[in-house]
Amino acid sequence: MRISTENKLSEINTIENVNQSFFKKSHQLVFSQIGLSPVEHDIFALFLTSIHKDQWVDFVNDKTVRAPIYRFQAEVLTGWFNIDRKEIYATLYKPCLRLTKKTIGIKDDKKKHFNFLAMFKQISYADGVLTIAPNEFLMAEYLGVSKGHSQIPQKNFRKLKSEHAKRLYTMLCRFKGESTRLNAQTIKDLHGFFGLLDEKGNLKKKSYESVGILVSRIIKPSIEEINKTDENITFDVDEKAGSFGYAFKKNGRKVEAIEFLFRWKKNEISKPKETRHPSELTFDDAKVTLKEIKTRSRLPNFDELVNLQKHIKEMIFTGSEVTEENIITVKSLIAADKEIM
């Protein structure tokens, strides 16, 4: 990935396959009211996987005239979308056209606030290069720097084929920690979350007023697809109704909300193998941490990540294979831990 700031314009050129294991999606974006097709979801995920707050420093400090522009070479696009180069134009044309017309609705029912913003200012494709110009008004949401974020494994996300499974997976990834819990979601909120509402807040299809249809067409298939795709998440069965992965919350006979019954395996949660003082961590510990990041066998804690960052230059000098993507991942994980702290 190369960054150019010539002519006071920041361009992020992604010239190699995107290997970062996850992308972040801010809490506001996770629960925003927007409907995307599967390919549109994957285009947005490609952008979010490539974005980092360091790329926006010059813009924030008024050293560039506009927000960074992201360019993705053909080699990246064919790998990300699993297509041949000759298929890029046909695959991306309509989804990109729709994305330029999409708005993100961020609302706060308690404060009676809402804000609708264009997702992107411009998307273009020419000579094998996809160019995305983000909306700088969404900088905080793109970067996930406020109110927490969802950390989404990008390979599993791309394996999901349905729009609604991608949406639900994004939401479930927001609640991986033992101290975080996803509350039961009202039927009204689920309509918005799954992109079933129009700009006026009305259902696009009246049939989704039926909870039975909402469950049979969207919720059950999404849970089943996620269950087959990601082995790190487990869905439970509701003891009363026998439903897999969800439970109804009723007021009398009326279903008012749905609770998702899921658990993440503990090795997905950032926990140390043992309690050690940061001063005790060594170069050999850094090598172990790097291996764990590459194999995704365990998510290191903050002190282990800082120790790895401290020894990266020495590791490269002594012949250890440390890729640019490894370095970016370490920086991102440290930044994420700092936000939580």
pLDDT at 269: 42
Window from 8-17, 149-158, 206-215, 248-257 with minimum mean pLDDT:
8-17
Residue 321 class from Cβ within 10 Å (0-12 exposed, 13-18 middle, 19+ buried)? exposed
Instruction: Name the average pLDDT for the chain.
Output: 84
**Per the domain annotation, does 247 fall within a domain?**
yes
The alpha helices in the chain, defined as continuous H runs, are 27-30, 38-50, 57-60, 74-81, 88-99, 139-143, 154-159, 163-173, 187-193, 211-214, 220-229, 283-295, 302-317, 324-340
Domain boundary, last residue among 266, 290, 305: 266
* H or E element that contains 131: strand 129-134
The verdict on 119 and 21 lying in the same domain is yes
Do 98 and 229 lie in a common domain? no
Contact predicate 334/310, CB 8 Å: no
How far does the chain reach from its first CA to its final CA, in angstroms?
29
Instruction: Please give the pLDDT value at position 146.
Output: 57
**Has residue 169 been placed in a domain?**
no
101 shares its domain with 193: no
Give per-residue pLDDT as tens, 21-36: 888 888 878 877 777 8
Tell me if 170 sits within 8 A of 230, measured CB to CB: no
pLDDT score of 2: 46
Task: Decide if 171 is inside a domain.
Answer: no
* DSSP category for residue 177: S
Final residue of a structural domain among 266, 287, 310: 266
Residue 215 located in a structural domain: yes
Name the pTM for this structure.
0.70
The answer to whether residue 17 scores a pLDDT higher than 80 is no
pLDDT score of 250: 92
Q: Are residues 9 and 155 in the same domain?
A: yes
pLDDT > 90 in the chain, percent:
43
Residue 165 lies in a domain: no
pLDDT of residue 133: 94
Say if 179 falls within a structural domain.
Answer: no
Tell me, yes or no, whether 49 and 155 share the same domain: yes
Residue 268: pLDDT band with limits 50, 70, 90: very low
Q: How far apart are CA 1 and CA 324, in angstroms?
A: 8
**Residue 103 or 79, more confident:** 79
48 contacts 23 by C-beta, under 8 angstroms: yes
Helices (runs of H) and strands (runs of E) counted in the chain: 14, 14
pLDDT in the model for residue 273:
47
Same domain, residue pair 250 and 106: no
Each residue of 145-199: pLDDT tens digit? 656 778 899 999 999 999 999 999 999 998 887 666 789 999 999 998 898 887 7
Residue 207 lies in a domain: yes
For the chain, the domain total comes to 3
**119-138 mean pLDDT:** 93
Q: Could you give the angle at the alpha carbon of 152 between the alpha carbons of 148 and 153, nearest 5°?
A: 150
Q: Does residue 155 sit in the same domain as residue 8?
A: yes
The total of other beta-carbon atoms located within 10 Å of residue 328's CB is 16
pLDDT at 107: 67
Burial class (CB in 10 A: 0-12, 13-18, 19+), 207: exposed
- Considering only CA atoms, give the Rg of the chain: 21
Check residue 336 and give its pLDDT: 66
- Residue 64 reports pLDDT greater than 50: yes
User: pLDDT tens-digit profile of 272-326?
Assistant: 445 556 777 888 888 888 888 877 667 788 888 888 998 888 888 777 888 888 8
Compute the distance between CA of residue 240 and CA of residue 151 in angstroms, rounded to an integer.
32
Which domain covers residue 114, as residue numbers? 1-159
Question: Cα–Cα distance between 116 and 107 in angstroms, integer?
Answer: 9
- The residue written with tokens 């510990």 in the block is 285
CATH number at 95 reads 1.10.10.10
Pair 213, 129 in one domain = no
Residue 19 has pLDDT above 70, yes or no: no
Better-scored residue on pLDDT, 300 or 8: 300
Q: What is the pLDDT averaged over residues 7-16?
A: 64
Give the model's pLDDT for residue 164. Answer: 95
Instruction: Let me know whether 113 and 128 are in one domain.
Output: yes
Do 254 and 280 belong to one domain?
Answer: no
Predicted confidence (pLDDT) at residue 257 exceeds the cutoff of 90: yes
- Is there a single domain that holds both residue 260 and residue 195? yes
Lowest mean pLDDT among 13-22, 244-253, 264-273, 291-300: 264-273
Q: Can you give the pLDDT at residue 21?
A: 83
- The verdict on residue 127 lying in a domain is yes
pLDDT at 83: 94
Q: Among 241, 266, 291, identify where a domain stops.
A: 266
* 262 and 277 together in one domain: no
Say if residues 322 and 290 touch (Cβ distance below 8 Å): yes
Q: What is the mean pLDDT of residues 51-80?
A: 87
